[in-house]
Amino acid sequence: MRYQEISDQTRADLFAASLNPEGVVDLIRRAFEEDLQGGEDVTSVATIPADHISTGEFRNRATGVVAGIPVARAVLEMVGIGDITTPILCAHEVTAGTVLVSARANTRSLLLAERTALNFLGHLSGIATLTRTWVDEVSEFGTLIRDTRKTTPGLRELEKYAVRMGGGTNHRMSLSDAALIKDNHIQAVGGVVKAFQSVRSLYPHIEVEIEVDTLEQLQEILLHNPDLVLLDNMSVEECKEAVAITAGRCKLEVSGGLTLNNARAYAETGVEYLAVGALTHSAPVFDIGLDLKAEI
């Protein structure tokens, strides 16, 4: 299949969303190749005249937060669709039945693009919608909802973008962005202080976060001025104690055992971040469909 170039506007919108246009194009190309397997859409070719024209409207079927509009537009453009309208901006909350994207084009092209566009829109909007739910739950306390690296392989950039569209905050994008000293690092090197000092000495200019399992470890590491301490699987009461012990000397992040039911209680302790892997690994797909109106 021969793909068309995406428009300058779509490219600019992807850049504005901190997405790499070439990376997005490559993902879309691979999605089409997975669909076609070197062949063609046999159902559409058999049932729809080559010159048939339709208007397609992508509508959500539930209330939620939209993400992925420029990605969906890139999908349409790559199969040669140019007459595209996108009335809804990413990060907006929409009620059921809203037209998110509209396109007038060759019907075969619309149907070829349909599933790939819906897969991106549904997945990213699902992440944004779930993130917004968490953000709203703790908003009055100023606690930030942060994602993790528990992302779908190859989709991290897009999934973390969707978290931002939902009002969440991104943790590191890669292992080289910042240091996060976990329990296995601590176990391997022989203690929290030794692990922290090893990272700080070799990489003095990057942010260093260290995980602690006990309040004793927290007190031990505070003497060495960490940027951020991760309180791993601690109870609400332990987190309250951690905030008191820290007394503003560094930021605190909670991870492990978090649910929407207890998020508010953890936020009330005064920690700065809640790390929620579920934003990307367990977000339900946002229900979006394509309504086709054939021209007579």
Q: pLDDT class for 16, splitting at 50, 70, 90?
A: very high
Task: Please indicate, yes or no, whether residues 150 and 270 belong to a single structural domain of this protein.
Answer: yes
DSSP for residue 233: S
Residue pointed to by tokens 């000495």: 201
Active site residue 232: yes
pLDDT at 132 over 80: yes
Tens digit of pLDDT for each residue in 168-222?
A: 999 999 999 999 999 999 999 999 999 999 999 999 999 999 999 999 999 999 9
Amino acid at 189: V
What is the torsional sign of CA 105, 109, 114, 117? negative
Q: pLDDT class for 295, splitting at 50, 70, 90?
A: confident
Rounded to the nearest angstrom, the gap between the alpha carbon of residue 67 and the centroid of all alpha carbons in its chain is 9
Active site residue 194: no
CATH number, position 237: 3.20.20.70
Task: Please indicate, yes or no, whether residues 110 and 174 belong to a single structural domain of this protein.
Answer: no
Residue 165 has a pLDDT of 98
| Structural domain of 86 | 8-131+283-294
Strands 83-85 and 99-106: antiparallel
pLDDT at 105 over 70: yes
pLDDT at 30 over 90: yes
Contact 186, 213 (CB under 8 A): no
Looking at the domain assignment, is residue 1 inside a domain?
Answer: no
Tens digit of pLDDT for each residue in 246-290?
A: 999 999 999 999 999 999 999 999 999 999 999 999 999 999 999
Residue 294 has a pLDDT of 84
Q: Which entry of 77, 137, 159, 211 is annotated as an active-site residue?
A: 211
What is the torsional sign of CA 2, 103, 110, 55? negative
Active site residue 293: no
CATH number, position 22: 3.90.1170.20
Task: Please indicate, yes or no, whether residues 88 and 187 belong to a single structural domain of this protein.
Answer: no
Residue 296 has a pLDDT of 62
Active site residue 150: yes
Phi, psi (deg, nearest 5) at residue 137: -65, -30
- pTM greater than 0.75: yes
Task: Please indicate, yes or no, whether residues 210 and 258 belong to a single structural domain of this protein.
Answer: yes
Number of domains in the chain: 2
Tens digit of pLDDT for each residue in 52-71?
A: 999 999 999 999 999 999 99
Q: Which entry of 156, 182, 240, 251 is annotated as an active-site residue?
A: 182
